[in-house]
Chains A and B, each alone.
Chain A
Amino acid sequence: MSKAIESKLLTEYYDDPHYMSFEGYTKRKGYEVLKKAFKMKPEEIVAEVKASGLRGRGGAGFPTGVKWGFLPKNDKKRFLLCNADEGEPGTFKDRMMMEKAPHQLIEGMIISAYAVNAHKSYIYIRGEYTDCLRIVKEAIDEAYAKGLLGKNILGSGFDHDMDVYSGAGAYICGEETGMISSLEGLKGQPKLKPPFPAIQGYLKFPTIVNNVETLAAVIPIIEKGADFYKSLGTEKSTGTKLFSVSGDVVQPGNYEVELGTPLMDLIELCGGLKPGRSLKAVIPGGSSAPVLTADECVDATMDYENLSAKGSMLGSGAVIVIDDSHSMVDLLTVIMHFYHHESCGQCTPCREGTGWLEKLVKGILKGSGRVEDLDLILRVANNMKGRTICALSDAAALPALSFVEKFRLEFEQHIRTQSPVRERETTSHA
């Protein structure tokens, strides 16, 4: 049954190894949509994207067309930035998109830049993605050589320059204002909002920041129209989405399906669980998304509204499948270590709270935890949530809250059996 549910709108030709080259891409109707876009007015493109209901694929799920609409209505300088600093643990879709179809991203970006009237764009690529950096750079050079970038693209009168920028491996630079700081040559730390980037962003110019997948998704919307795009997915989560499925499935990988696909079908698409194992939990949207228990997974569908109703989120589409062979205490320790390590240190609740959470969870894992620590974790996490400049604090607090709340018994059991005090008592009884 499985393959049938795949809906390859963006990844249709990804199996073709030549698709990454300019020739291969144009053979598959590449840059045709750009020609169509140039025949439209920029505001028509914005309207089309708005009508399509496309939501940001980077994690926050903010409607793309609405974001574009925040730009000041004038001809003054503005920038388009592509966020390819894919750092959310569990996510690896942008990497595949850049490696397999760099021209798709470039085409999507030119259309988007034309729509928002930006004459310069940067692709901010995660520091670890050295291959992506090289591939995208080469693709940009090819595009320049073919007249698809630079002055008067395809005779449209629209000028656009594009460049890549490599991050240095900080998770926080995936946050849009953190990324802008980094791009400006500053320490990669998020900026206070307001002002929002669309008003005052890169070098204080109005700036639009979009995810790789979002920008690529503009192509099918312009090609086939908003109505077609809307016919896919659910009412509020339109179109298709790439899910990076990892963890305890037989065939982990990126899968493009319509939004609204049942989670269990998606797991089935990946070959299901490993033989003899049963489902324990799923993190549906990257490590910062609250975890779902096996029971909650049964009727979960992969769209913004269903997951949010379940108290979790679609996030970047990183589905981490956890079977019964894993300890939740162990997993939470890994997640807490990550956020402690990646907190930029600007805001006090996050700087101090992430470290505190790691110490608490690690203490439990190592056997020095107390049952009271579980309530303390909840209190600390609750007071980190929504208290800081960016969402990293929430990203650390949400998994801590959901793990401890939903798997409290397992944590308590771990504390009672692993506690050094217990061990001494057991020995004395024996």
Chain B
Amino acid sequence: MLKCNINGVDLEVPEGTKLIEAFLKAEQKIAHYCWHPGLSVAGVCRLCMCEIEGNPRLQIACNTEVQEGMVASNQSEKVKETVRWGMDFHLINHPLDCPICDQAGECGLQEQYMEYGQYTPSMAHAKVKKRKVVSLGSKVVLDSERCILCSRCVRFTDEVTKTHELGIFNRGDKSEIGTFHDKPLENKYAVNTVDICPVGALTSKEFRFKQRVWYLKDEKTVCPGCSTGCSVKVYHNQEGLFRVKPEYDAEVNEHWMCDEGRGVFDWVNRQNRQSYSVNAENMEKPSSSELKLILTAQQTVEEYESLFEYLKSSNKKVEVYYWKNNPDKFDDFDNLLIRGDKNPNTKGLLETAVKHDITLNPFSGFDGFESFEGDIWFILPENKAVYPLYEQYVEKALKLENNLTIFAVPKVKVDKTKKNISILPLKTYFEKDGHFLNFNGLKRQLKPGPLQVSSALALNEWVSFVKSDDFGDQVDLLSKRKSEGFRKKNEMTQTGGGL
């Protein structure tokens, strides 16, 4: 460990630490654009200037390694003036179009201008014109005029994905980000470039112009897209969920996540959900003493616990079927984040099953169910997109004559006159408490966000209803519950409400 002093704060850092990391560790503000903790040092924005005792010249903190006894500061007027000018150099050719820029509200230029700039601009000449609305690929759009050429995106494709799609072309103030030979930016992690872009130069085609970011709240949770279980932030408001961004997690995903994982919020939104229960009263009737249950590895450990406890304590003859989506690709891994097992809690399911001495029989359709006359519980996966046989199996299930209970997140179209089928809406990962175990057994906690569907319950909550005597009353109460903060789209204009 090396002792150093940053702006008067004494601290110890491990050898090889860059000075900028020491500043951040000492909770001292330091301006920067090009430096990113997950990428190599570029040293080009020249904003992280600081004074180091014994060195007459200002140094950039990102390319300076901390030495034993180093005393550094960025509080002097000289440093502040330099940073102010650094900001000005960044902004002289930057368009002043914040009101129509999708990055506004979470823009590094806006934030750092308010923190370190606030000068009277002296640029009185025409700005450099560059390309606008350049499609870099199916997911990312570039606005070269807004780009500050920090090279983070280029370094990302060079160092993290190693796909080398991006480069900086031309030189001087004509420099622009671009793709080689117009070969598009198409890798499975492309939208990370949008996250790390400190300005509005790279925007995501999926998210841009959907919401102003200051209308969004974020919730830290776990991506349910595959067994890697990246830590993520989900951005939402009264109108639903809008985007997912990675959250730093040293043990799992570091700074990144895959593009596939960014799409896994859509099924949470109300319009895609089973939003009411059907024939819930079936659950009250005395039913058969035999039960077949089909489940996937998409529920939380807590849900499996309560379900398995219930199964063990009931006097029924129970068989549990485990539905794997793509057994042949189950162990695939792209050496970065994406795994073939598209379920967030396979490990959790297997461990809980062993703990409760439950045998998981492989599920491969309803063949062999013909002679069975007992009850069937079918817990549908919430991320149905990764189950290629989903539609086929659901269709088959709806034709069954057994007493069938379907626990579903996605909408299930059912003939309500068929009294043998009941459907109970489930909560998604975004709405419930609990935890997943990822592929190597790391526990990652979910945090319940606002409920999108009022009548939805988690599996363990349904189980406790089933166990209680007043199932019907509880379901009635449930139907009167309101979704939290649900607001109709364009409420203001439709009701003629003023501002």
Q: Which residues of A contact B (CB under 8 A)?
A: 170, 172, 187, 192, 194, 340-349, 351-356, 359-360, 363, 376, 379, 383, 386-389
A345 B89 Cβ-Cβ under 8 A = no
Q: What 0/1 readout, one digit per residue, does chain B (71-109) give for beta carbons within 8 Å of chain A?
A: 000000000011001100110110000000000000000
Query: Chain A residues with Cβ under 8 A from B172's Cβ?
Result: 340-345, 351, 354-355
Q: Which of the residues A192, A194, A355, A376 comes within 8 Å of B173, measured between beta carbons?
A: A355
Contact with A along B156-170 (1 / 0, CB 8 A): 000000000001101
Q: How far is the CB of B435 from chain A (nearest CB, A)?
A: 43
Given A363-B125, A386-B57, A340 and B173 touching (CB < 8 A)?
Answer: yes
Tell me which of B37-45, B236-244, B283-291, B311-319 binds A.
B37-45
Which of A347, A383, A386 contacts B44, CB < 8 Å? A347
How many residues on B have C-beta within 8 angstroms of the other chain's C-beta atoms?
34
A351 to B125, Cβ gap below 8 A?
A: no
The smallest C-beta distance from B73 to any residue of chain A, in angstroms, reads 18
Q: Which residues on A sit within 8 Å (CB–CB) of B82? A: 383, 387
Contact between A356 and B174, CB atoms less than 8 A apart: no
Q: Are A387 and B173 interface neighbours, CB within 8 A?
A: no
A383–B126 CA distance with the chains assembled, in angstroms: 21
Q: State the majority secondary structure of interface residues on B.
A: loop
Contacts of B125 in A (CB 8 A): 356, 359-360, 363
Which residue in chain A gives the minimum CB-CB distance to B128?
A: A355
Give the distance in Å from the alpha carbon of A172 to the alpha carbon of B167 in the complex: 19
6 closest A-B pairs by CB: A345-B175, A383-B85, A343-B172, A355-B173, A359-B125, A352-B89
Q: A352-B90, A355-B172, A383-B85 are known contacts; what are 10 more A-B pairs with Cβ within 8 Å?
A: A343-B171, A344-B171, A345-B173, A346-B44, A348-B47, A348-B86, A348-B149, A379-B122, A383-B89, A386-B57
B92 engages A356 (CB within 8 Å): yes
Q: Which of A187, A351, A353 has the most CB of B within 10 A?
A: A351
Docked-complex contact A351 and B149, CB < 8 angstroms: yes
CA distance A192 to B41 in the complex (A): 9
B108-128 near A? 1/0 per residue, CB < 8 Å: 000000000000001101101
B234 located at the interface, meaning its Cβ lies under 8 Å from any Cβ of chain A in the complex: no
Main secondary structure on chain A at its contact with chain B?
A: helix
Interface of chain B residues 24 through 83 with chain A (CB within 8 A): 41-47, 49, 57-58, 63, 81-82
- Bound-state Cα–Cα, A388 to B42, Å: 12
Per a CB cutoff under 8 Å, which of B41, B58, B122, B174 touches A386? B58
How far apart sit A121 and B470, CA to CA, in the bound complex (Å)?
A: 89
Could you tell me which B residues sit within 8 Å of A by CB distance?
Answer: 41-47, 49, 57-58, 63, 81-82, 85-86, 89-90, 92-93, 122-123, 125-126, 128, 148-149, 167-168, 170-175
- Give the distance in Å from the alpha carbon of A354 to the alpha carbon of B92 in the complex: 12
- Enumerate chain A residues within 8 angstroms of B148, measured Cβ to Cβ: 348
User: CA–CA, A360 to B92, complex, Å?
Assistant: 13
Which residue on B lies nearest to A193, using beta carbons?
B63
A348 touches B89 (CB 8 A): yes
B170 touches A348 (CB 8 A): no
- Chain B, residue nearest A343 (CB): B172
Q: Within the complex, what minimum Cβ distance (angstroms) separates A62 from chain B?
A: 16
Neighbour of B90 across the interface among A192, A340, A348, A388, CB < 8 A: A348
Query: Which residue of B43, B47, B123, B168 is within 8 Å of A187 (Cβ)?
Result: B168
A196 CA / B168 CA spacing, docked (Å): 24
Candidates A192, A355, A356; contact of B63 at CB < 8 Å: A192
Cα distance A214–B90 in the bound complex, in angstroms:
39
Q: Which residues of B contact A345 (CB under 8 A)?
A: 149, 168, 170-175
B284 to chain A, nearest CB (A): 70
CB distance from A421 to the nearest CB of B (A): 15
Residues of chain A within 8 A (CB-CB) of B126 are 359
Chain A residues within 8 Å of B85, by CB: 349, 383
Residue in A341, A347, A360 whose beta carbon sits within 8 Å of that of B46 in the complex: A347
For the complex formed, measure the closest distance between the CB of A127 and the CB atoms of chain B, giving whole angstroms: 15
Shortest C-beta distance, B158 to chain A (Å), equals 11
Selected A-B contacts with CB under 8 Å, 8 pairs: A192-B63, A340-B172, A341-B172, A345-B168, A345-B171, A347-B46, A349-B86, A352-B93
Q: How far does the alpha carbon of A187 sit from the alpha carbon of B44 in the complex, in Å? A: 15
Complex: A355 Cα to B122 Cα, angstroms: 14
Residues in B neighbouring A348, C-beta threshold 8 A: 44-47, 86, 89-90, 148-149
Task: Across the interface, name the chain B residue whose C-beta is closest to A360.
Answer: B125
Query: Across the interface, which residues of A come within 8 angstroms of B167, CB to CB?
Result: 187
Residues in B neighbouring A344, C-beta threshold 8 A = 171-172
A349 contact set on B, CB distance < 8 A: 46, 85-86, 89
Contact A343 B173 (CB under 8 A): yes
Q: How far is the CA of A192 from the CA of B61 in the complex (A)?
A: 12
A351 engages B173 (CB within 8 Å): yes
Who on chain A is nearest to B84 by CB?
Answer: A383
Chain A neighbourhood of B92, CB < 8 A: 352, 356
Q: Which residue of B lies closest to A372 (CB)?
A: B122
